[in-house]
Structure 1
Amino acid sequence: MTSTVRTGLVPPTLRTLPEAIGANLAIARARTSARILAVVKADGYGHGAVPVARAAVAAGADWLGTTDLAEALALRAAGLTVPILTWLNPSGADAEAAAAGGIDVAVGSVGELAALVSRSTPAGVRIHLHVDTGMAREGCPAAEWDALITAAAGAQRHGQAQVVGLMGHLPLADEADPAANAPAVARLRQARTAVRAAGLGVPLTHLAATSGTLTDPSTHFGMVRFGAGLVGIDPSGTTELHGASRLTAPVVHSAAVEAGTPVGYGGTYVTTTATYLSVLPLGYADGIPREISPEACVAIHGRRHRIVGRVSMDQIVVDTGAAPVPPGTTATVFGPRDGITPTIQDWARWAGTIPHTIVTGIGARVRTSA
């Protein structure tokens, strides 16, 4: 069975992908006066980097953001012309390609900066100084800020780089508590003061991602980075956003079984009454979490039906009760909130994870429809 018929990740029926992204960006715009950078990493959070980027720009996003230079260059190749920032490149990223593509590069250490400018063009690559504001994950540690800023000022004087941005990350933004964000805000302000004192002016400063954008204006500075929110995920849980996709699959097999029938590998589930079981052709190889709670379900004909037995590599079994479901019937695994259709938030709860892992984990066999 080919990937073009086994499953589908499609825009929701009631709202297209561009409409959902536009609606979510409108919510973000109402919360901030800062510029909005639309983050389209992880292939647009599993929805396709190019279509998500196009929809975001059409809806008014000022910038785009990716993890690495290759992702950014792919957006340029697709015809997107707005400023792009990339902030997780291996040492020695191609500065010439970045400069030629008009792509900004974040640097978080003196070593990263030295490797980048060693390959810089005479015009210099545009850089954002990336400082650690409390994550201890990426960005320059506070003890090394002076060295990085001094090196960046030297690179700018020699025409190797243009310092145009300053960035950090909020470690506790999902708590939706400005008090929790205050230490990171203070650190970034301190870094901005040091950059200004080094004669580098006041670069475009940005700290907040989706949660900060939606909950705390003090974190917004000159720009916010809105990524998960584009596709309907609010990690803070404070704002109802619009789901941007619907995952569907056809029923490929349906059968009547008696009470006491073991289902799936290991027979971990046994039917308690006579019922009908339907098979959907997707499983953990397609991004369906293997460990899910007994509540996990799909929607068929406007009703929820439980998934029973273990999730297999490429199959799940659904108990449809007293009514048989003909092969070819469409089941909806997740989609926008409508009171019946499971959402990515439901799936995250059933799998004990976060919505991000649900949408970014969809496998390559799933066909994406425009």
Structure 2
Amino acid sequence: MTDLRLATISTGAISHNVETLRALVAPAQVMAVVKANGYGHGAIESAQAALAGGAHWLGVADLSEAFALRDAGIDAPLLAWLHQPGAAFSEAVRAKVDLGISSIAQLSEVAAASGTARVHLKVDTGLHRNGAVLSDWQRFFEAAVAHELAGRIRVRGIWSHLANAGAEHDAQQIDQFSAALAMAEAVGLRPEFRHLAASEGAIKYASARFDLVRLGISTFGLAPADDVDAAALGLVPAMTLSAPVVSVKRALAGVGVSYGFDFYCESDTTLALVPLGYGDGVPRHASNRGPVTINGARGQIAGRVAMDQIVVNMGDAPVAIGDRAVLFGNVAGSAADSGTASTVPSVDEWAAAAETINYEIVTRIGSRVIRRYES
């Protein structure tokens, strides 16, 4: 039976990407970030593939994501960092989940949990999201020393996050982070891991790598910034999104297509109906612009993206019901597409069509889309 909506995930690509990035950032260790269902690729399968590629750590946003990995039998070092008051910190301690801690109040709550919590103290070096602000650093570190001496916590790491606002701002943040590390050392903290860089910073700046880097989107073969060439780095996109053509009709010049008639056929053309829509994560903002490949020929969405379907203008290219339409991916030689890889749209093309970033395109792929894993 043909899958109506299919995201084919190459676990081999994920492993390869981690191996490639490990070589780039060595001797720093690699944390593969698999939050948000592995950026849409599947958290458990992505985590296993990343570990097979040599990742030393895994990272997630919240404890529910961490517990899902533990429940799947994954026992690798694991960090979770986004916590609401009253989070299940005692359960996290029992599950050996390291905790990113961003304030003195949060530190006190974690210290009150049963067992000895393993924590990574986050300092705000300019991003102005999570993390203790500069004026609190001294008290934050001193409180951590007191809790550590009492056996309530173990400070495994100190960390922050770059704003990726340009080389000058990044350099300032690297300096700020170094100042935070010096202050922590002065009050008696000796963390095993100092980490600042995510994918963009890790790729661009050797000075930002410290002991550990957190790799998210690059793990899945996509560039973290417009000025980073993923292919030149040797990274391979891991996801291919496709669906079968369920209707084909020949439309005459001048007819309108889809809701609102935002599109009119300029000439006689073939229209292919594909069962993927904004309910599956296809961005409605890509209406009239999103590229699609069928049988190696390029087409483009005609009219608005609907909840469950898109219409693709294929011109005079031969299309039949049951042919596989590929929205994006890296499918040379795969069963998903009979054309060549050069005709298959990239995630970055879809991001441009939707005026967004590649992160959003893959992460938003919905639950109706079946994930199939291939090595």
- Number of residue pairs the alignment of both structures matches: 358
CA deviations over 1:133-160 (Å, ceiling 9, x no partner) = 1101111101111111111111112111
Correspondence for 1:192 among 181, 193, 205: 181
TM-score, structure 1 length as denominator? 0.93
DSSP 3-state at the match of 1:43? helix
CA deviations over 1:100-143 (Å, ceiling 9, x no partner) = 1111001110111112222232xx10000000011011111011
DSSP 3-state at the match of 2:271? strand
Alignment partners' CA distance in 1, 2:77 and 2:93: 12
Q: Is the contact between residue 164 and residue 200 of structure 2 (CA under 8 Å) also seen in structure 1?
A: no
CA deviations over 1:38-96 (Å, ceiling 9, x no partner) = 10001000000001000000110000000011111111111112110111111232222
Alignment partners' CA distance in 2, 1:183 and 1:323: 54
Pairwise CA distance, 1:244: 0.2
Correspondence for 1:97 among 73, 91, 98: 91
1:145 equivalent in alignment to 2:137: yes
1:25 corresponds to which residue?
Answer: 18
1:82 equivalent in alignment to 2:76: yes
Pairwise CA distance, 1:296: 2.2
1:166 corresponds to which residue?
Answer: 158
2:334 corresponds to which residue?
Answer: none
Pairwise CA distance, 1:281: 0.8
1:119 equivalent in alignment to 2:113: yes
Residue ranges of structure 1 left out of the alignment (5+ in a row):
12-16
Alignment partners' CA distance in 2, 1:44 and 1:22: 13
Correspondence for 2:100 among 101, 106, 110: 106
**Greater displacement, 204-213 / 321-330:** 321-330
CA deviations over 1:176-204 (Å, ceiling 9, x no partner) = x3x43211111111111111111122441
1:239 equivalent in alignment to 2:229: yes
**Greater displacement, 294-303 / 126-135:** 294-303
DSSP 3-state at the match of 1:52? helix
1:365 equivalent in alignment to 2:357: no
Correspondence for 1:348 among 332, 347, 351: 351
Residue ranges of structure 2 left out of the alignment (5+ in a row):
332-340
1:9 corresponds to which residue?
Answer: 7
1:209 corresponds to which residue?
Answer: 198
Alignment partners' CA distance in 1, 2:229 and 2:76: 28
Correspondence for 2:219 among 208, 230, 238: 230
DSSP 3-state at the match of 2:284? coil
Q: Is the contact between residue 247 and residue 334 of structure 1 (CA under 8 Å) also seen in structure 2?
A: yes
The runs of at least 4 consecutive aligned structure 1 residues that moved more than 4 Å come to: none
Letter in 1 for 2:284: R
Q: Is the contact between residue 84 and residue 104 of structure 1 (CA under 8 Å) also seen in structure 2?
A: yes
Q: Is the contact between residue 210 and residue 226 of structure 1 (CA under 8 Å) also seen in structure 2?
A: yes
Alignment partners' CA distance in 2, 1:350 and 1:72: 34
1:180 corresponds to which residue?
Answer: 169
Percent sequence identity is: 39
Q: Is the contact between residue 95 and residue 117 of structure 1 (CA under 8 Å) also seen in structure 2?
A: no
Pairwise CA distance, 1:315: 1.1
Letter in 1 for 2:216: G
Q: Which structure 2 residues correspond to residues 249-264 of structure 1 after superposition, within 5 A?
A: 249-264=243-258
Q: Is the contact between residue 279 and residue 315 of structure 1 (CA under 8 Å) also seen in structure 2?
A: yes
CA deviations over 1:206-231 (Å, ceiling 9, x no partner) = 00000111111000011000111111
Pairwise CA distance, 1:323: 4.2
1:155 equivalent in alignment to 2:147: yes
Pairwise CA distance, 1:18: 2.2
